[in-house]
Amino acid sequence: MTNIIQYTEDLNKMKWDDFNFNAFQVNTLPPLKDPDHYNNCFVFRDSLLEAIEKHSGKEVFKLLLISPDNISSTKFYTIAFLEGKFILTAEIENTNLFSTWFSTLNRNKNNTKKLSSTIYSFGKNLFSSQPASNFKEKYSYKNTGALIADFIPNQFIAEKLAKEKADFLGNFIQLDAKIDFTKVKQHFETLLTEKELEIIPPKNNETIYTEFEQEAGFPFPAIIKNFLSLHNGVKNTAFMGAENILKEWKEWKAIYDDWTQEELLDTYSTNQGKTLLMYTTPYWIPFFDLQNGNFLAFDFAPNTKGIPGQIIRYGADQEIGYIHATSLIDFLEKLMDNEDEIIN
């Protein structure tokens, strides 16, 4: 009986005896030199992830470590979610080195040497834990599949999550935003003259636009194409050229793809119904770099009271997007009165 199985939607019906917890030894832990070092928990996590990847030959998306309480269980168990939608189950041999590392981790976490059963969740950017008693009804080595199903990583249900997000955004997408480009050109040239700014000359960006369309599934918006026909960035300002627009958009698209619709949505914030209550969407296209992971962007999926092509503020320091200007024209007019905002 193998200890690696293929994920199915019937996972939550499986019991403890349906899984094979073969014992294996973690040989990736280094000697513990400083028990009080703040980084020990991450060294422990990364060593376990490395050990499972070596053992399975597959990338680990998420790893669960279930510690014993020495009453109902005296063994360490691990459950790993692997690339290809495989699940590995195993017992970890409690060697002296492993015991030393775990005892240090447990003591630092609880400020006590008392051992209680805990479920740790590890990933390349994940470290969390909770008492196994949180799952009293599902755990107890019986409804094991239901327990595992509670921790399914997004990669395992990517198609479902993508559909949920697409269904939500579908009601708001408006790519055919219109604007008076003659007025945009006039305002932009006036801004350059009044602020004594120098553009980076525009160039042919068709390769970039093609790459965007392949990644996004929709054409690069005409409003931004036309604006980039006037420049490819403005020296010493926050205006971005086509290359940086694509780069930053792709990074935010990766966040959008990784998060669930529930994680992206923030129902506690308000913004007068003009922008969606979301952390990011692929229909927000950054063009003005506010630094430290914050941007102004064209919004092509406005909320019910918003306008397609409106300018929004979003980024690392904000939970949702906020309206900044009703249009590119409005934005350029505001820049003429606010010299500090334009400087990079």
Dump pLDDT digits (tens) for 242-266.
999 999 999 999 999 988 999 999 8
Distance, CA of 119 to CA of 131 (rounded, Å): 6
What are 258's two structure tokens?
């990784």
Closest listed residue to residue 279, CA positions, set 327, 306, 312, 305? 312
Q: Confidence class of residue 320 from pLDDT cuts 50, 70 and 90?
A: very high
Considering the domain delimited by 4-152, tell me its CATH architecture.
2-Layer Sandwich (3.30)
- Lowest-pLDDT range of 80-84, 144-148, 300-304: 144-148
Evaluate whether 287 touches 331 at the Cβ level (below 8 Å): no
DSSP letter string, 132-150 = GGGGTTT-TTTSHHHHHHT
Q: Which residue would you say has higher pLDDT here, 135 or 18?
A: 18
Domain ranges of the chain: 4-152, 160-342
Evaluate whether 38 touches 53 at the Cβ level (below 8 Å): no
What are 92's two structure tokens?
């970890």
Class of the domain covering 160-342: alpha beta
Where are the extended beta strands (E) located within the chain? 4-6, 22-24, 60-66, 76-82, 86-92, 118-123, 126-131, 284-291, 294-299, 310-315, 322-325
Give helix 328-336 / helix 181-195 axis angle, nearest 10°.
Answer: 20
Q: Which residue would you say has higher pLDDT here, 271 or 251?
A: 251
Evaluate whether 42 touches 127 at the Cβ level (below 8 Å): yes
DSSP state of 237: B
Evaluate whether 66 touches 79 at the Cβ level (below 8 Å): yes
Closest listed residue to residue 260, CA positions, set 191, 122, 163? 163
Distance, CA of 159 to CA of 60 (rounded, Å): 19
Indicate the pTM of the whole model: 0.74
